[in-house]
Amino acid sequence: MTDHAITDLPAFPYHPDPLATGSLIPSDTECLSCGHRRGYVYTGPVYAVADIDDELCPWCIADGSAAERFEAVFTEVEGQVPMDVVRAVEQRTPGFAGWQQERWLTHCGDAALFLGRAGAPELEPYPDAVETLRQNLGMLGDTEAFLAALDAEGQPTAYLFRCRHCEQHLAYADFT
């Protein structure tokens, strides 16, 4: 396998580092959409007419061809944003694996940047994200114990985002 530089990958405006988040991994698997071995595949969820499991290359995601061919959606957008933003996230952005149906957070009328899964230690530098979690968890009882239990590798897990405009951090959490 060739050693590709990160700059080889297409740019994803809403998912700045899909290698770091684990959504893309080096692999010589043949892409189900273009039939080529491009050196990377997408490992996240695909909601589509076909059963697709770690078989799409980042280029077929970036140009929308995989979404078109398989009527695929990668991650549903939560919130009110323009239709072209919804399409960019749902059809041309690598998603991420959650414990439950994943949702892409929005802020300032735009989809936010997905930064990755986060546990309590990873959230510590982002009190603004923790505050959004606290607001969402208000009704669940022991919010502080839940926040302390957040685990990037286990569960519950938080999903960390940053607004592309005001730079506020946002997060939601889930578990099975």
Which spans of this chain sit near Zn ion (rule: CB under 5 A)? 31, 33-34, 57, 60, 107-108, 163, 165-166
Pick between residue 34 and residue 48 the one whose CB is nearest to Zn ion.
34
In angstroms, give the least distance from the CB of 58 to Zn ion. 8
In angstroms, give the least distance from the CB of 61 to Zn ion. 8
Rounded CA-CA distance 160/173 in Å is 9
In angstroms, give the least distance from the CB of 60 to Zn ion. 3
CB under 8 Å to 9, separation ≥6 — which residues?
Answer: 18, 19, 24, 40, 58
Q: How far apart are the first and last CA of the chain?
A: 36
Pick between residue 65 and residue 119 the one whose CB is nearest to Zn ion.
65
Pick between residue 61 and residue 119 the one whose CB is nearest to Zn ion.
61
> For residue 127, with 0-12 CB atoms within 10 Å meaning exposed, 13-18 middle and 19 or more buried, which class applies?
exposed
In angstroms, give the least distance from the CB of 46 to Zn ion. 13
Is the omega angle on the peptide bond into residue 26 within 30 degrees of 0, that is, cis?
no
Pick between residue 18 and residue 119 the one whose CB is nearest to Zn ion.
18
In angstroms, give the least distance from the CB of 88 to Zn ion. 17
DSSP code for 114 = E
Cβ contact 10:31 at 8 Å? no
Pick between residue 27 and residue 75 the one whose CB is nearest to Zn ion.
27
